[in-house]
Amino acid sequence: MHDILPIDYKYYEKVLETGKEVAEFYNFQRIETPILEMSELFEKGTGETTDIVQKQMYSLKTRGGDALTLRPEGTPPAVRLYLEHGMFNYPQPVKLWYYGPFFRYEKPQAGRYRQFWQMGLEVIGEKNSIIDAQTIQIYYNILKELKLNNLIVEVNCIGDQLCRPHYRKTLASYLRSKDSNLCADCKRRIKENPLRILDCKDEKCQAVKAHAPQMIDHLCEECKHHFKEVLEYLDEIGLPYRLNPYLVRGLDYYTRTVFEIFQEGKEGQAQTALGGGGRYDYLIKLLGGKETPAMGGSLGVDRVVQAMKEAQITMDNEKKVKVFLAQLGYLGKKKSLKLFEDLRRANIQVGESFDRDSLKSQLKIADKYGAQLTLFLGQKEALEGTVLIRNMETGRQETVKLENAVVEIKKRLKK
Ligand code: AMP
């Protein structure tokens, strides 16, 4: 888990602002779910056999005996919210977005944290393939708006309840025949979740994967048709994508379309995906609702920030100090505190250094800020009820009445 320092916070804010702008353009509405949920939600929703549930959850028992988990991902909580608040009665689809911290017990390494931030979008109640394409496009647009280049979307279709069980069997029987060439984790996965082997990054498993039967050749007619349409929509909007038959994503609830977004050259490594998601047509029913199709995904904000920094994208959202307020002596300080508040009310960005007593050191700070005007309020000015305004460019100095200070400063400020 890591701290976010001011220098990085600007990037996090930029991602949030951009994500919000884009999501709102597409009529998504923001939600917030609690950071703690009943463990059961993820055991059921994310899936008992997934790495997240088996190895990565931070879980605890309350004094009352409830089993709770720090949310490792956002989709099951969003679906819980949809069901709990009767959103199935709203006009469908319901489009929701969220931003916040998520928690997974991971081996910490670059791009993998135990507390990380995600921005997620969920479209609940629509099965049409156009939604799959548009959801992918929204993530792509957010990254583009953030000025990230060389983006590539990887897509795959992992079938549905009709065709996947059959493929699972075919794959499992192929894998059993290659059992001795698999890593220890994958040996276990053959029985529990053979599709996950396609996702394994272990050297040992690569050769086995290369010859494995592919889902795309085992899709039922409906899935094939749905996927064909998704790709045609992506072609139509000119989105750069690549088919990746090994992309299965780690979670049980995905059906049909799955995707991940990378920067070209960095794809294929586990901790470089900037975001990902997919369709989850059975999750709502699994969590107690009616059968309801849905599509969603999330951006890994920490990784997006990292990519922005690597691309040397600079943040210039610091408020520019236009006026610096320098003071001398106790009386000067007293009047300055009041003037400072007057300037705040007038919405003039003002810098100060109330803790300094030397005029020289205060002027140095004014210079560093690049202030247009510096105000002086010393013992003499305080007694006379005036303030001295110095134009930092021309060096010209004028004394004005304290009660007119705000108006006089405004007159002298360049826009
Ligand atoms: P996932 O649904 O697990 O693929 O997560 C979606 C996105 O969140 C990923 O593409 C990553 O960008 C990001 N992400 C997932 N896990 C972590 C982590 N442990 N640390 C940082 N970012 C993560």
For 106, the token pair is 């991971």
Q: Is residue 376 part of a domain?
A: yes
Q: Is residue 265 part of a domain?
A: yes
Which tens digits make up the pLDDT trace of 346-399?
A: 999 999 999 888 989 999 999 999 999 999 999 999 999 999 999 999 999 999
Instruction: Give the domain range for residue 70.
Output: 6-163+219-310
Tell whether 281 and 396 lie within a shared domain: no
- Ligand 1 contact via 282 beta carbon (within 6 Å): no
258 has pLDDT over 90: yes
- Domain with residue 389: its CATH number is 3.40.50.800
Q: Is residue 297 part of a domain?
A: yes
Which tens digits make up the pLDDT trace of 28-73?
A: 999 999 999 999 999 998 888 888 888 899 999 999 999 999 999 9
What is the arithmetic mean of pLDDT over 297-314? Answer: 95
**Which residue CA neighbors atom 21 of ligand 1 most closely?**
112
Burial of 412 (0-12, 13-18, 19+ CB in 10 A): middle
Which tens digits make up the pLDDT trace of 269-284?
A: 656 899 999 999 999 9
**Which residue CA neighbors atom 4 of ligand 1 most closely?**
276
> For residue 300, how far is its CA from the centre of ligand 1 (angstroms)?
5
The contacts of residue 205 (CB under 8 Å, 6+ apart) are 181, 182, 183, 186, 197
Q: Distance between terminal CA atoms of the chain?
A: 43
Tell whether 327 and 306 lie within a shared domain: no
**Which residue CA neighbors atom 16 of ligand 1 most closely?**
112
Q: Is residue 39 part of a domain?
A: yes
Tell whether 266 and 351 lie within a shared domain: no
Most confident option among 198-207, 261-270, 357-366: 357-366
268 has pLDDT over 60: no
> For residue 73, how far is its CA from the centre of ligand 1 (angstroms)?
9
318 has pLDDT over 70: no
> Which of 310, 336, 367 is the C-terminal boundary of a domain?
310
- Domain with residue 110: its CATH number is 3.30.930.10
> For residue 256, how far is its CA from the centre of ligand 1 (angstroms)?
20
- Ligand 1 contact via 274 beta carbon (within 6 Å): yes
> For residue 274, how far is its CA from the centre of ligand 1 (angstroms)?
7
Pairing, β 115-124 against β 294-300: antiparallel
Which tens digits make up the pLDDT trace of 377-387?
A: 999 999 999 99
Please state the atom number of ligand 1 nearest to the C-alpha of residue 112: 20
Quote the crossing angle between the two packed helices 184-192 and 164-177, to the nearest 10°.
140
Q: Name which of 67-71, 201-205, 220-224, 404-408 the model is least confident about.
A: 201-205
Rounded distance between C-alpha atoms, residue 303 and residue 311, angstroms: 12
Tell whether 271 and 363 lie within a shared domain: no
Are residues 374 and 363 in contact, defined by beta-carbon separation less than 8 angstroms?
A: yes
> For residue 150, how far is its CA from the centre of ligand 1 (angstroms)?
19
Q: Is residue 26 part of a domain?
A: yes
> Which of 271, 286, 310 is the C-terminal boundary of a domain?
310
For 250, the token pair is 């780690």
Q: Is residue 204 part of a domain?
A: no
Substitution candidate for ligand 1 out of 50, 51, 105, 112 with most atoms within 8 A of CB: 112
**Which residue CA neighbors atom 20 of ligand 1 most closely?**
112
- Ligand 1 contact via 259 beta carbon (within 6 Å): no
Residue 244: closest CA among 259, 230, 256, 229: 259
- Dmax (CA) for the chain in angstroms is 95
Tell whether 381 and 246 lie within a shared domain: no
- pLDDT of res. 266: 73
Please state the atom number of ligand 1 nearest to the C-alpha of residue 73: 2
Q: Is residue 170 part of a domain?
A: no
> Which of 252, 277, 310 is the C-terminal boundary of a domain?
310
- Ligand 1 contact via 199 beta carbon (within 6 Å): no
The domain tally of the chain equals 2
* H or E segment and range at residue 186: helix 184-192
Tell whether 256 and 382 lie within a shared domain: no
Rounded distance between C-alpha atoms, residue 13 and residue 332, angstroms: 37
Long-range pairs of 286-289 with CB within 8 A, sequence gap ≥ 24:
286/44, 286/45, 286/253, 287/41, 287/44, 287/45, 287/76, 287/79, 287/80, 287/83, 288/83, 289/79, 289/82, 289/83, 289/88
Which tens digits make up the pLDDT trace of 83-104?
A: 999 999 999 999 999 999 999 9
Tell whether 299 and 334 lie within a shared domain: no
> For residue 191, how far is its CA from the centre of ligand 1 (angstroms)?
26
Q: Is residue 196 part of a domain?
A: no
Q: What is the mean pLDDT of the chain?
A: 93
- pLDDT of res. 109: 85
Rounded distance between C-alpha atoms, residue 356 and residue 362, angstroms: 7
- Ligand 1 contact via 273 beta carbon (within 6 Å): yes
Rounded distance between C-alpha atoms, residue 196 and residue 251, angstroms: 9
Tell whether 279 and 329 lie within a shared domain: no
Which tens digits make up the pLDDT trace of 156-182?
A: 999 999 999 999 999 999 999 998 888
Substitution candidate for ligand 1 out of 271, 301, 306 with most atoms within 8 A of CB: 271
Report the Cα 298 to chain-centroid distance in Å: 7
Tell whether 53 and 15 lie within a shared domain: yes
- pLDDT of res. 127: 95
Tell whether 282 and 367 lie within a shared domain: no
Angle at 248 between CA 246 and CA 253, to 5 degrees: 165
Tell whether 38 and 98 lie within a shared domain: yes
316 has pLDDT over 80: no
- Ligand 1 contact via 303 beta carbon (within 6 Å): yes
Tell whether 335 and 281 lie within a shared domain: no
Question: Is-above-0.95 flag for pTM?
Answer: no
> For residue 222, how far is its CA from the centre of ligand 1 (angstroms)?
30
